[in-house]
Amino acid sequence: MKAKSGIYINFLPAPGEAMVSHKDHCILDVALRSGIPIDHTCGGNGTCGTCLVEIVQGLENLGPRNEVEAEMAEDRGFESHERLACQSAIVDGLTIQLKQKKT
């Protein structure tokens, strides 16, 4: 069984590159499987907004927001490069900046 896709996502700051598995459906899947902490209070249902990340590179390959993400983006005024990790598909060449946690 082939488990790896050969696609990587680069997460900033460290740990850096994470290899995408064929089992991953969204950016959040890749991060969590790779041990990269991204909050996901609603469990990836697109209702909490805690998985918001910034796309530093590759936004042009990502495609438009789905209906769930588009509704939240409009309500909360997300910038075009701010995407929900749980609603964003995986494409090659992504570099993602994790949001700083507010203390």
Q: Which of residues 10-69 bind ligand FES (CB under 6 A)?
A: 40-42, 44-51
Q: How many residues bind ligand FES (CB under 6 A)?
A: 13
DSSP 20-44: EETT--SHHHHHHHTT-----TTSS
Q: How far is the CB of 62 from ligand FES (least distance, A)?
A: 15
CA atoms of 93 and 96, how far apart (whole Å)? 10
84 near ligand FES (CB under 6 A): yes
Q: How far is the CB of 33 from ligand FES (least distance, A)?
A: 15
Which pair of tokens denotes residue 39? 């909050």
Q: CB-hemisphere CA count at 13 Å for 4?
A: 7
Of 18 and 84, CB closest to ligand FES: 84
- Which chain residues interact with ligand FES by CB under 6 A? 40-42, 44-51, 84, 86
